[in-house]
Amino acid sequence: MKIFIRLFLFACLSAHSLAQTHFNVLVYHHVSENSPASTSVSPAKFREHLQFFKDNQFPVIALDEALSAVVQNKTLPKNAIAITFDDAYRSIYHNAFPLLTEFDYPFTIFAATDPIDQKFADMLTWDQLREMKQAGVIIANHSRDHGYLVRHRSLDELWLAQTRLNIEYAQQRLIDELGNDIPNWFAYPYGEFSHSLQALISEMGYVGFAQHSGGVNSASNFTALPRFAAAGIYANTKTLKTKIESVPMPIDESNLSDMLTDNKQPRFHAILTDMSDMNSTVNCFVDGQWQDTVWTGQQSFELVSTEPLSQGRHRYNCTSPSKTLDAFYWYSKPWLIQTKE
């Protein structure tokens, strides 16, 4: 009887160790050898990734199932990942789709609709999207024209109205061509957003997806969910493994500074909600360069770039080792610097 109890407890502990309440999302663009290197993986490298996920027992799950689980506080398989593609390039159909079908991995495509309607040679066609959707691929909204939504705009009521129409038009085109079951998800073009745009997305009832790094759990901001880039310089499987095994850093996102700023040395003030499993050391990087943080309280720190940043996109990335897991807590704060000059 004692042996049975011990075995039962071991089984429960083992099952618990193979579950978690978060997941990580990967974002790809091109799967091609003839596209921009910064946003591309070759078909051979992409196969390597898929085999790597399989060999390391990293479960690839559908994005809708993953989101539903975290919203309902249900457990997910350990190291669960969701695969996404932005922009709807034709190489997804020719090079990625056959491989993902071979490995039986679900995935999502965020499509900008005007380039498809205009029949650009390097974009997917509606027939190709229909075929993939019928095979179980999720297709979602990436705007009408893939324009810069928050740059060089006054962000006034006219801008909000135009942006709403942009998103609604793209959603309706997806519905008209692919059916009524298009999710209310929106991937920000270039991963750029602002508080005003997040508020609009929330009002419209959409989940927003960005392109800064980090994991997703029930405490995440669902108007700008992070995704780990997996192409270009980020395609290395060793560093990708660290990201897939990472845990969302428990930072209160309710009062974070706007991504859009005219400050060339923006201040990231982080309030940690739970440090019980975090190492006391937090390592932060500004655009990949290590930089000191300043602790402002027992559970809060600040990070400011020591050098003025150029106009455009930047990231502050922070990690901290877990006390109980062979993993890092991870958080990324994106910036879009647009000076008034």
Query: pLDDT tens per residue, the chain (341 residues)?
Result: 433 333 333 333 334 457 899 999 999 999 999 999 999 999 999 999 999 999 999 999 999 999 999 999 999 999 999 999 999 999 999 999 999 999 999 999 999 999 999 999 999 999 999 999 999 999 999 999 999 999 866 668 889 999 999 999 999 999 999 999 999 999 999 999 999 999 999 999 999 999 999 999 999 999 999 999 999 999 999 999 999 999 999 999 998 999 999 999 999 999 999 999 998 899 999 999 999 999 999 999 999 999 999 999 999 999 999 999 999 999 999 999 997 75
Residue 196 shares a structural domain with residue 237: yes
Number of domains forming the structure of the chain: 2
Residue 185 shares a structural domain with residue 277: no
Residue 135 shares a structural domain with residue 235: yes
- 252 falls within a domain: no
| Boundary residue ending a domain (214, 247, 280) | 247
In this structure, what CATH number is given to the domain that contains residue 86?
3.20.20.370
| Boundary residue ending a domain (219, 247, 275) | 247
Residue 142 shares a structural domain with residue 271: no
Containing structural domain, residue 313: 260-337
Residue 148 shares a structural domain with residue 81: yes
- 2 falls within a domain: no
| Boundary residue ending a domain (221, 247, 273) | 247
Residue 155 shares a structural domain with residue 200: yes
Which three-class secondary structure string do you get for the chain?
CHHHHHHHHHHHHHHHHCEECCEEEEEECEECCCCCHHHEECHHHHHHHHHHHHHCCCCECCHHHHHHHHHCCCCEECCCEEEEEECCEHHHHHHHHHHHHHHCCCCEEEECHHHHHCCCCCECCHHHHHHHHHCCCEEEECCCCCCCCCCCCCCCHHHHHHHHHHHHHHHHHHHHHHCCCCCCEEECHHHCCCHHHHHHHHHHCCEEECCCCCEECCCCCCCCECCEECCHHHCCHHHHHHHHCCEECCECCCCCCCCEECCCCCEEEEEECCCCCECCCCEEEECCEEECCEEEECCEEEEECCCCCCCEEEEEEEEEEECCCCCEEEEEEEEEECCCC
